[in-house]
Amino acid sequence: MNVFPGILINNKIIGILALLLTFAIIPVAGASAGYEEAKKAFDERQFEAAFDGFTKAAEDGHMMAQYYLGVMYATGRTLPRDDVTAYKWFMKAALQGHPISQGNIGTMKLNGRGTEFDLTGSYFWFILAEDGGFEKARKFMWRVTNYMERDDINSIQAKADEWIKENRGKIE
């Protein structure tokens, strides 16, 4: 006979929550471990192994794995070049705040590579990349403004400032 039935229930609930938390953490830890192994393989030019590791980690949400998958698709490492898929992976990393991926999105939009040509969209992503510390984005950002109207520049700058303000705390 259980004298404290509430404690038994609470222990069961705590056990279930601990189990759920463990399963929630495993993909994140696995993504980091998979990324580290893939990065080592990439650095050693073992691109097939790197691709497999980056794919798994990227699907689990690892920002740097998403970036490297974008690089592999954009450059045709171990598979035919695929700009649409490169754009997809760069975008996933860019939305998590990866400045080089943001710059890559800006460049891809500017060149219509993997996506439609979009001058103002390009400018937007260059602003984010530069704000994140990707200094090369500044050069592209200012070149793009040569082909834009002052109202468009101001409008996109305001949208970028708003995005930065809303997302800075989430991605740092």
138 domain residue, yes or no: yes
Nearest Cα to Cα of residue 105 among 134, 77, 79: 134
Higher pLDDT, 85 or 30: 85
CA angle 62/38/106 to nearest 5° reads 50
Question: How many domains does the chain contain in total?
Answer: 2
Q: CB of 129 within 8 A of CB of 110?
A: no
Residues in the chain: 172
* pLDDT tens digits, 103-117: 999 999 999 999 999
Same-domain pairing of 159 and 92 = yes
pLDDT above 60 for 137: yes
Say if residue 49 is in the same domain as residue 93: no
Q: Answer with the residue of higher pLDDT: 27 or 91.
A: 91
Q: How do residues 32-73 score in pLDDT, each as one tens digit?
A: 778 999 999 999 999 999 999 999 999 999 999 999 999 999
In a shared domain, residues 103 and 172: yes
Q: Are residues 90 and 156 in the same domain?
A: yes
Averaged pLDDT of the chain: 85
- Residue bearing the bigger pLDDT, 28 or 44: 44
pLDDT at 87: 98
Domain check: are 98 and 53 in the same one? Answer: no
Same domain, 57 and 86: no
Indicate whether 72 belongs to any domain. no
Q: Are residues 99 and 49 in the same domain?
A: no
* pLDDT (0 to 100) of residue 160: 97
> Looking at the domain assignment, is residue 28 inside a domain?
yes
Q: Is residue 146 part of a domain?
A: yes
| 120 has a pLDDT exceeding 90 | yes
Tell whether 116 and 147 lie within a shared domain: yes
What's this model's pTM, rounded to 2 decimal places? 0.79
Give the domain range for residue 59: 1-65
Q: Last residue of some domain: 11, 33, 65?
A: 65
Considering the domain architecture, whether residues 120 and 56 belong to the same structural domain is answered as no
* One domain for residues 60 and 128: no
In a domain, 76, yes or no: no
Predicted pLDDT at 61: 95
pLDDT at 20 over 60: no
Question: Measured between alpha carbons, how far is 106 from 127 in angstroms, rounded to an integer?
Answer: 9
The angle subtended at Cα 90 by Cα 86 and Cα 93, nearest 5°, is 150
